[in-house]
Structure 1
Amino acid sequence: MKRQSHFILIIIICITFALSLLLSNYFSFSSLKLTSESSKSLNDNWRLGYYNEIIDLPVKLDIPTNTPYSISRILDDDFSLKQVICIRGSLQELDVALDDEIIYSALYESKGILTPPMASAWHLVEIPIESNGKELKITFKTPIRDMSGLINGIFYGSSSDLLFHIQQTYGWGFSASILILILGMLMIIIPVIFKHLRRWQFIDLGLFTVFISLWLIAESRMLQFFYGSPLILGSLAYIMLSVFPIPILFYIKENVIKGFKNIYNGLIILFGMNLSLILFLQFWGLVHFYDSVRITHSFIFIGLIIVILTLFIEMIKYKNKFAKTTLCSFGVLSIFGIFELVHFYFNDYTSTSFYVRIGVILFILIQVIESIFRLISYLKKSLEAEYYEKLAYEDRVTGGLNRMAFEKDLENIFSNPDLKNHLRLMIFDLNGLKGINDRFGHIEGDYAIKSAYALLSESFNGLGLCYRIGGDEYACVFTDIDINIIEKRIELLNEKIKTFNKTLPYTFGMAIGFIEYDPKLDETWQKMMHRADQKMYENKGLKNQSIIMVTH
């Protein structure tokens, strides 16, 4: 039930947004929307070619590819003043002439053996002062079948008015795409900063979000405001459309499904090959990006069907709850993707990427919320595992490290030659613990045990680790510490024991065995520990002393 709560949250958000739109239309408010009153339409009464046929824009004519076609009109009195006309070229070359004198030309240039892509772009053409009564003629040509004969709406005004008009019309889509891009970048950056996160889960989702946001930005008709390279303008959308499925396939393969790994590997390779194919076809002049987009669409459709089928099988066969959530999000994305394809193949380019934006936002929202739930569960399990691991290595009486931690650490040191060759080991024994227990009780005995560990930890703090390895036995482990420094700390321990003894009704003393690693004698850590024990027992005869006795 808790896992379904995020779906309820999404539904509530969508309903709230829809109600806000309905209420904004129901109530009458004074509009606060900024508008550009100075940009005007120039879409009516155009004469087509030499046929004197009058047409209004926008229009789609039946014109063969690579065939020039022209529209013309007489400019009215508004053009007695300086004006700028705004033309949207959709993968088209164009010439603008005033009384048959070309004043602007945007040609498709190919340099060298490589063929650059054609780019859809805005063209702002300055019309000279006192051009009223003159004939404005615009000629188009394109090798792209779907774009041949297409003439978009034309506007005029000042440059600032026209730029504001473009921003007003398409800025919302660009802004939404930028927000998606920022979200994707955050999903990549945050796991890098916070090391405990399951990094690749969020990075795969983040890469998917970044790639698809770049596609949306390229389709927003606003990229030209920030970047003017025809190569980027003409290729970004097609490249991103080819690569965005790859990270989401990685995400599903590594984080969602239990089977079908080879199928997903095959899909990843397929999209990689598709990217190589469309780049080869474009830059060798065989097929334009726009014409090869049908190949990409086919692969995306095939991949989507396979993903939905595998997720459905995972959900039914393996009772995979993560597959169920991912399937729902793909269902949402698929619905909006179908709307997008229908509009694209019916040549409705005005709403390009509109539906995908909505679908992507909902898809990402579902996946991010699901990932957060999974992350919380993962962190909870990690904290529990860390807690139980800590218990496993913690001594109950002293609160310090126990024998299990001691043996684990020594095994790790002996597996590393650099550490092993600089290993120094001390074994301690608390003298007279049985007598303390018998005479003063086990509570005082436990106090002596805790005190011994505290004195060792304080004395050797920063040099190595100390452990309680038995009832009255302790150990300290050092690596790459100068022996003179250790001996000074032993003297410090002696002083602390002397001071501590003054507070006790009994004699508090410890015996020590201190040895350095010897490759000839210490084949294993157990043998080294045995040597340290022997050194320590040599001092047991002096246990009536109140200070530590040292031999090494």
Structure 2
Amino acid sequence: MEEFLKLDIKKKFYYFMVMAALLLIMVIPVIMATTEKNVESKDIVLDDRWTVTVNDKVYKDVTLSKFRFDMCDRGDILTFEHVIPRYDTMDDPTINLYSIHAAVKVSVDNEVIYQYGQDRYQQKKLLGYGRHFIPLGKNRMGKKLIIEMHISENNAFDGQQPVIISDGMKLISKDIAGKRFNLAISMFLMVFGVIIMILSMLMLKSSVNFIQTFCIAMFSFLVGCWTLCNMDLIEYFAPNLLVKTYMEYMTFYVLPLPFTYYFRDRLEKKGFPKLLKIYFKVLIIAEIAFAVFAYTMQFFNIMHLPSFLSGVHILMMLAMLFIVFINIWARKNSQDSINCVMVGFAIAVILTVIEIARFNINKYFFGFSQNEYNSTTCFAVLIIVISMLVDYGKKISQTLYRIAQQQLFKQMAYMDELTGLANRRKCEEYMKELETHTEKYCILCFDLNLLKKINDTYGHEKGDELIKRFADVLREVYSLYGITARTGGDEFVTILNNVSVQETEKLISDMLILIETKNKEEDILKLSTAYGYAMSDEVADSNPHIIYKLADDRMYEYKKKSKMGRND
């Protein structure tokens, strides 16, 4: 983990992209594992010839898939009666029953075979919705099936799905196969969200810009969870209806927040309208307050989560309006061009608006097909996530370009142009840093001999070549141990960290051997240097400038003894 945090932002971004690609590969086995459509299942669909009682009103010879009644409210009681047909070819006959916010009791003649939610109904608690898988047993053909529902929420539903008798798990296998793409997309959004949320939290230490990555990941995860519940797929992993209901509503009510906050950076653009800034801040506060209020009401059992569904629809619409406004402003002020992200959001917004309208129209006016509602919003969200990634990828590439430019300018400011070594400015800053260090260090001073003679005899081009040859020697010998800088025309300084006198002498010996080797390969540009060094513990006050002065004095003493001089 520590090694990852030490990576520069560019390498972290590469890790981000590689993990996203691996995630895409992970989804493929999910699709392949759920592609079997032809699961043998001789289902018995009990759709017609029902007797339905809504409170005290009786309806006979009812076809459930077409039957509608007034929207149910808390306290309403519904009873469904049907004669159980033959199912003797099934090894494990199971009733598949769908309920929405209701306590359920299933009886065969006068024998109760299944109950759900009676205690919670009495306590006025949330009951949830979803499917009940009820073992029917072998000897109940021709008997009367009675399903009794006590409704626990207002505006709960206005119809009932057909009841299905199936052969155990075959119904589940068939249902999963029919929803394989929804399952694959849900799992992709969830796994993608978890991985990228973790990665972006680690990256936040490098750049606050990765808060946008976190918003993308959080939005993706929330929608993945919500879709898994809305498509009734969570029941195969967690059959408890309360788990599904809490998970669906709680994730859905937080959705607008990361979706809206992702666009916060737009507010920092020059000339951004003050009114839109206020709109954004009020919207964020409203989204947080809405989620907290809904959760609080549910926690204290004052109001249940389904009561707030219209509120989150309004917040989503307001968030989409905000996105439309900022894109219009950007286009009007020529701060953005039409690109993939704008097109993606336009498509996703249209699909989401249609989806919200379809839900409310069906719920309050026409009813749902087969009395079941499965949202296709996950496809719109997939478009949004892709659009966010494209948009963010563009920003990251621009950020990386600016960072590369800054690094280049910094490198140019601290690098000797001729040799590629550090320059005097870098050396002085490094020495200033040594003032606060407690580790032992050594400073070496070098003077390149015969440079003036080469310049006068062969020209400055050859003199520069001699300097570069000497710089290569210093780089090869000392680069792993510290910093080497060119501080003047023929003057060089090397600072070695955590070395002893013996180690320093060994490195100097290696340098002289390397110089001798290179001189055998060259007839004109012979390398020769005077040097001196001083250790940080040689004086009581280990001031780097005092150590440098001592090393420089020793270098000049060496020049005198070698009787080579500069020939300046």
- How many Å apart are 1:527 and its aligned residue? 6.9
- How many Å apart are 1:65 and its aligned residue? 1.8
- How many Å apart are 1:95 and its aligned residue? 0.7
Does residue 135 of structure 2 align to residue 126 of structure 1?
A: yes
1:176 is aligned to 185
The equivalent position to 1:92 in structure 2, one of 77, 102, 105, is 102
In the alignment, the residues of structure 2 paired with residue 65 and residue 192 of structure 1 have an alpha-carbon distance, to the nearest angstrom, of: 44
In the alignment, the residues of structure 2 paired with residue 279 and residue 69 of structure 1 have an alpha-carbon distance, to the nearest angstrom, of: 29
Matches within 5 A, 1:186-335: 187-188=196-197, 199-254=210-265, 258=269, 259=272, 264-317=280-333, 319-321=334-336, 328-335=343-350
In the alignment, the residues of structure 1 paired with residue 112 and residue 564 of structure 2 have an alpha-carbon distance, to the nearest angstrom, of: 110
In the alignment, the residues of structure 2 paired with residue 380 and residue 202 of structure 1 have an alpha-carbon distance, to the nearest angstrom, of: 18
Does residue 374 of structure 2 align to residue 356 of structure 1?
A: no
1:424 is aligned to 442
Give CA deviations for 1:342-368 in whole Å, capped at 9, x if unaligned: 222231556745341232122223232
Give CA deviations for 1:104-163 in whole Å, capped at 9, x if unaligned: 1111544999x8642212112222323222111000112212225532221112113322
Q: Structure 1 residues 368 and 226, CA, compared in 2 at 3 Å: closer, same or farther?
A: same
Q: Percent identity?
A: 18
1:439 is aligned to 457
In the alignment, the residues of structure 2 paired with residue 36 and residue 499 of structure 1 have an alpha-carbon distance, to the nearest angstrom, of: 82
The equivalent position to 1:337 in structure 2, one of 345, 352, 358, is 352
Q: Structure 1 residues 144 and 192, CA, compared in 2 at 3 Å: closer, same or farther?
A: closer
Does residue 58 of structure 2 align to residue 40 of structure 1?
A: no
In the alignment, the residues of structure 1 paired with residue 519 and residue 93 of structure 2 have an alpha-carbon distance, to the nearest angstrom, of: 100
* Greater displacement, 253-262 / 463-472: 253-262
What one-letter code is carried by the residue in structure 2 that aligns with 1:93? A
Give CA deviations for 1:499-549 in whole Å, capped at 9, x if unaligned: 5566656874323343345898677x6676556544544444335359xxx
**2:64 match: secondary structure:** coil
Q: Structure 1 residues 80 and 163, CA, compared in 2 at 3 Å: closer, same or farther?
A: closer
1:16 is aligned to none
In the alignment, the residues of structure 1 paired with residue 45 and residue 498 of structure 2 have an alpha-carbon distance, to the nearest angstrom, of: 81
Give CA deviations for 1:55-88 in whole Å, capped at 9, x if unaligned: 1113342344222220102223346966322101
- How many Å apart are 1:284 and its aligned residue? 0.9
What one-letter code is carried by the residue in structure 1 that aligns with 2:222? F
- How many Å apart are 1:232 and its aligned residue? 2.2
What one-letter code is carried by the residue in structure 2 that aligns with 1:306? F
Number of aligned residue pairs? 511
Give CA deviations for 1:266-312 in whole Å, capped at 9, x if unaligned: 43343222222111111211111111222222333333323432443
Q: Structure 1 residues 491 and 130, CA, compared in 2 at 3 Å: closer, same or farther?
A: closer
* Greater displacement, 194-203 / 396-405: 194-203
In the alignment, the residues of structure 2 paired with residue 229 and residue 157 of structure 1 have an alpha-carbon distance, to the nearest angstrom, of: 20
In the alignment, the residues of structure 2 paired with residue 455 and residue 370 of structure 1 have an alpha-carbon distance, to the nearest angstrom, of: 48
- How many Å apart are 1:486 and its aligned residue? 1.8
- Contact residue 204 and residue 247 of structure 1 kept, 8 A: yes
- How many Å apart are 1:413 and its aligned residue? 4.5
User: Mind listing any 5+ residue stretches in structure 1 that lack a counterpart?
Assistant: 1-31, 547-552
- How many Å apart are 1:453 and its aligned residue? 1.9
**1:139 match: secondary structure:** strand
- Contact residue 84 and residue 159 of structure 1 kept, 8 A: yes
- How many Å apart are 1:492 and its aligned residue? 3.2
Q: Structure 1 residues 316 and 325, CA, compared in 2 at 3 Å: closer, same or farther?
A: farther
* Greater displacement, 358-367 / 38-47: 358-367
- How many Å apart are 1:426 and its aligned residue? 2.2
Q: Structure 1 residues 480 and 428, CA, compared in 2 at 3 Å: closer, same or farther?
A: same
Q: Structure 1 residues 305 and 462, CA, compared in 2 at 3 Å: closer, same or farther?
A: same
Give CA deviations for 1:425-481 in whole Å, capped at 9, x if unaligned: 222111232123223544443343223222322332421121222210111122333
- Contact residue 95 and residue 105 of structure 1 kept, 8 A: yes
Does residue 75 of structure 2 align to residue 55 of structure 1?
A: no
TM-score (ref. length: structure 2): 0.78
**1:341 match: secondary structure:** helix
In the alignment, the residues of structure 2 paired with residue 186 and residue 56 of structure 1 have an alpha-carbon distance, to the nearest angstrom, of: 47
What one-letter code is carried by the residue in structure 2 that aligns with 1:292? F
What one-letter code is carried by the residue in structure 2 that aligns with 1:47? T
In the alignment, the residues of structure 2 paired with residue 147 and residue 120 of structure 1 have an alpha-carbon distance, to the nearest angstrom, of: 10
1:453 is aligned to 471
2:391 is aligned to 370
- How many Å apart are 1:265 and its aligned residue? 4.6
* Greater displacement, 201-210 / 467-476: 201-210
2:19 is aligned to none
What one-letter code is carried by the residue in structure 2 that aligns with 1:398? T
* Greater displacement, 244-253 / 487-496: 487-496
Matches within 5 A, 1:143-154: 143-147=152-156, 150-154=159-163
What one-letter code is carried by the residue in structure 1 that aligns with 2:481? L
In the alignment, the residues of structure 2 paired with residue 397 and residue 103 of structure 1 have an alpha-carbon distance, to the nearest angstrom, of: 90
- Contact residue 467 and residue 476 of structure 1 kept, 8 A: yes
Q: Structure 1 residues 325 and 170, CA, compared in 2 at 3 Å: closer, same or farther?
A: closer
**1:147 match: secondary structure:** coil
Q: Structure 1 residues 172 and 398, CA, compared in 2 at 3 Å: closer, same or farther?
A: closer
1:157 is aligned to 166
Indicate the RMSD between aligned Cα atoms, in angstroms.
3.7
In the alignment, the residues of structure 1 paired with residue 64 and residue 526 of structure 2 have an alpha-carbon distance, to the nearest angstrom, of: 105
Q: Structure 1 residues 112 and 444, CA, compared in 2 at 3 Å: closer, same or farther?
A: farther
What one-letter code is carried by the residue in structure 2 that aligns with 1:273? A
In the alignment, the residues of structure 2 paired with residue 243 and residue 544 of structure 1 have an alpha-carbon distance, to the nearest angstrom, of: 81
Q: Structure 1 residues 493 and 99, CA, compared in 2 at 3 Å: closer, same or farther?
A: same
What one-letter code is carried by the residue in structure 1 that aligns with 2:60? E
The equivalent position to 1:468 in structure 2, one of 479, 483, 486, is 486
Does residue 548 of structure 2 align to residue 541 of structure 1?
A: no
In the alignment, the residues of structure 1 paired with residue 59 and residue 159 of structure 2 have an alpha-carbon distance, to the nearest angstrom, of: 18
The equivalent position to 2:505 in structure 1, one of 487, 498, 509, is 487
What one-letter code is carried by the residue in structure 1 that aligns with 2:105? D
Q: Structure 1 residues 389 and 225, CA, compared in 2 at 3 Å: closer, same or farther?
A: same
Does residue 85 of structure 2 align to residue 70 of structure 1?
A: no
In the alignment, the residues of structure 2 paired with residue 169 and residue 453 of structure 1 have an alpha-carbon distance, to the nearest angstrom, of: 70
**1:477 match: secondary structure:** strand
In the alignment, the residues of structure 2 paired with residue 448 and residue 126 of structure 1 have an alpha-carbon distance, to the nearest angstrom, of: 92
In the alignment, the residues of structure 2 paired with residue 538 and residue 367 of structure 1 have an alpha-carbon distance, to the nearest angstrom, of: 67
Q: Structure 1 residues 79 and 89, CA, compared in 2 at 3 Å: closer, same or farther?
A: farther
